[in-house]
Every structure is written in structure tokens, then in C-alpha cells.
Amino acid sequence: MGYGSSDDLDPTGRTGAGQATPAPRRRGRGARSGTDTDGAGLALDAVAIKVLVAGGFGVGKTTLVGSVSEIVPLRTEELLTELGAGVDDVTGVDGKTTTTVAMDFGRITINPRLILYMFGTPGQDRFWFMWDELARGALGAIVLADTRRLSACFPAVDFFERRRIPFVVGVNCFDGEQPYSPQEVRQALSLDGDVPLSMCDARYRESNKRLLITLVEHVMATVRRADAAATGLRPSGG
Amino acid sequence: MISRGEAWFDEAAGPLVRPYAVTRGRTRANRYPLDLITLVVAVHPEVHAAVVEQEYARILRACAFPQSVAEVAARVDLPLGVVKVLISDLIERRYLIFRASPSPAARPDLVTMQKVLDGIRKL
């Protein structure tokens, strides 16, 4: 059985969401004789890598993920009690309400042995504990900022700085509307000098590709610098 | 779980109680190092799906090809925690095999990152 039914494909009923977005060009669909064989040809020993897409609620995280993903973004959910006692603890929760934390994610199959997952982080601050699992092993993060509500991305910037997770900032220009210069936004976020910041439009695939490229280049540069610093400590043997 | 004069019915109880009913109340899946992007795949999905309970069968069918734990959870529409318990059961019964993600400390090497970069550029 494949994933032929819309039920299986999109349990959240959000099938149409991606189609409403301008620009996205879906890759990989239809090219394989009409059968939806997501994951076919993938090796189990494939390396899976994840990047996070963070930012305030409604800033365009899922739009970004959807525009570069080869699949319509999927939604995975976790349950927690209102007191945030942890998803593992559903005993003794009498009287407390439960909340569902949702994360939307997409996938880019680089080749049968290399898959990139993009996870949108839950927008609300009180779901921090979810970020721990999300961030574990992440290659890096894209922080989407909206200058009309710049403070909404402060927690994400703080989180990645504290965890030393490499990140780039994309200033989402809704309808090309952007009254601030990159330098002004950089100052407002008090970003370290080496953190890339660029203007973007989360609705457009090319713009999001550029952000992803900037992120991977930034991570590579960070790793190279760290390697150079480490080898610099030893007598160089060539 | 439902006590102190308060009863939850239908949707009020559903999101909390029902998902964990399929795990028979078990909420932890520490047996295997499963995280969001751990890849799992079914061994003979159709054969084994025929002999297990419905929720397990759905997972096995969703895993006909390698999938991440997050994808499985999304496709069978169950919370992550629940799916991890059920996937662990299936691994234990050898109906599923998995490949753990690299250790948290280890970032992909530069060669892998370069491949990711080239792949994104080609999109």
C-alpha cells in the first residue's frame, strides 16, 4: 500500500494549504508513474539531517517549509498538560487541561542516502521543552523575523545563541513591505557580527532556497573555523 | 486518571486518554533511541500487518519504505509519544528495523554538508 488516500497523506486536512501558496513547484510528484511512493528508493542507512525554522506565530514558517519541501508539509503533534509536566507524564493529570503542540515539517531528498528535514518550531514560548528534542542534533536553524513584530523572534534568537546552534535570520518582507534596513534589524536583534541576515519572502521558493544555502554555508564556515582553531592548538603536522 | 468528581467524555477526554489507550497506558519509549528523524522501515509490511492490531498495522503499512518517526506519526495521525511506544513494540517484535540518528554531539561532516548544499542548489 502506498499513500494514495488523502487521509494518509494529510491527516490534518490541510491538503490544500500548500496549493494556495504562490510559487511552489513540487518536485518528484507525477514523475514516478503517478504512484505516490514517498520514501521509495531511500536506503535505510540514509543519513537524515534536520534544520529548524523558527520565529513568532504566523511569521511564515510553514509557508517557507512548504515552498521548498518535496511533500506537502506534514504535521506531527505532541500532547502535554497545561502545567507542562511533560509529554511522558499523563498519569495523575486530573483536572488539568491538555494542549496539543503541533510541528509542521517538510522533506528534501538530496539523494537516496541523504535526506534533509525542515521542522517548523511551535510558535509559543511555553512549548520550550519541545524545542529541546527538536534542536537535538539539528544542523542549524533559520529564524524568520517580521519587523512589525520583531520581538516575536527574540526567544528563538536567544535559544539558538545559548545552545550554540548556528542560525541565520531571514527578515520576511510581506508584500515587499520593509521599512527597516538590514543593519537596523541586525542592531535591534543585537546579532553577533557573523550571523547572516537577509531579506526574504517566505512565499517564494527561490528566496527560501537562498536562505537554506546561506544557512548551510554558515554552518560549514563555523565548522571550518572551529577546526582551524583546534588544529592551531597543536604543532602543525601538515 | 479521571477522578475527583470530574469525568471527561468524548472530545474532552479524547485527546489525552484515547491515544495512550492504544499503548495500554505506556507513555515512555526508552527501549530504543528514537527521535524525530530516526528512520524506520517495515520488514514484510503486509505479512506482519495481517497479524497485528490495527494501530500497529497502520504503522507497518506507513513504513513500507524508510520513513522518519515524525513522518510515521503524521501519516498515522497519532501523537509522537504514542507512535514511539508502538514503533518500539514493533522493533522488539522484529517487524520494524530502524537506524538511529547520529549522536547529538556529532554534526554531519563537511563532505555531507557540501552534498546538502549542492542538493539545495539543484532544487
Residue A39 lies inside a defined structural domain of this protein: no
Tell me phi and psi for residue B67, to 5 degrees. Answer: -140, 155
Could you tell me whether strands B96-99 and B67-68 are parallel, antiparallel, or unpaired per DSSP bridges? unpaired
Cα distance between residue A99 and residue A83, in whole Å:
10
Residue B54 lies inside a defined structural domain of this protein: yes
The verdict on a CB contact (< 8 Å) between A46 and B99 is yes
Cα distance between residue A91 and residue A81, in whole Å:
10
What's the whole-model pTM score?
A: 0.79
**What is residue A159's DSSP assignment?**
H
The DSSP annotation for A2-69 comes to: -S-SHHHH-TTS-TTHHHHSSS----SSSSSTT---TTTT--TT-EEEEEEEEESTTSSHHHHHHHH-
Q: How confident is the model at residue A10 (pLDDT cuts 50, 70, 90)?
A: very low
Q: How confident is the model at residue A44 (pLDDT cuts 50, 70, 90)?
A: confident
Domain containing residue A195: CATH number:
3.40.50.300
pLDDT of A37: 41
In the predicted structure, residue A90 carries a pLDDT above the cut 50? no
pLDDT of B40: 95
Residue linked to cell 540514509: A46
pLDDT, mean of residues A21-35? 36
Residues in B closer than 8 angstroms to A98, CB to CB, are 15-16
Cα distance between residue B39 and residue B65, in whole Å:
10
Domains: count for chain A: 1
The verdict on a CB contact (< 8 Å) between B36 and A116 is no
Cell numbers representing residue B113 in the block: 554538508
Residue A155 lies inside a defined structural domain of this protein: yes
Residue B75: other Cβ atoms inside 10 A? 24
Residues in A closer than 8 angstroms to B80, CB to CB, are 76-78, 87
DSSP E strands: which ranges in A56-134? Answer: 74-81, 98-111, 114-120
- Of the residues A9, A12, A47, A214, the best mutation for testing chain B's interface (the one with the most B CB atoms within 10 Å of its CB) is A47
pLDDT of A132: 84
% of chain B residues with pLDDT over 70: 78
A42-46, A56-60, B105-109, range with the lowest pLDDT: B105-109
Residue A8 lies inside a defined structural domain of this protein: no
Residue B3 lies inside a defined structural domain of this protein: no
What SS3 state is found at B36?
A: coil
More confident residue, B67 or A90: B67
Residue B106 lies inside a defined structural domain of this protein: yes
In the predicted structure, residue A25 carries a pLDDT above the cut 80? no
In the predicted structure, residue A202 carries a pLDDT above the cut 70? yes
The verdict on a CB contact (< 8 Å) between B36 and A110 is no
Domain that holds residue B61: 10-122
pLDDT of A73: 94
Q: What is the pLDDT of residues B5-53, one digit of tens each?
A: 556 555 554 444 456 777 777 777 678 989 899 999 999 998 998 889 9
In angstroms and rounded to an integer, the radius of gyration of the C-alpha atoms of chain B is 18
ipTM at complex level: 0.82
Residue B108 lies inside a defined structural domain of this protein: yes
Residue A6 lies inside a defined structural domain of this protein: no
In the predicted structure, residue A85 carries a pLDDT above the cut 60? no
Q: What is the pLDDT of residues B62-111, one digit of tens each?
A: 999 999 999 999 999 999 999 999 999 999 999 999 987 666 556 789 99
User: For residue B96, what is the nearest residue in chain A, using CA coordinates?
Assistant: A44
The verdict on a CB contact (< 8 Å) between A137 and B113 is no
Domains: count for chain B: 1
Domain that holds residue A86: 44-230
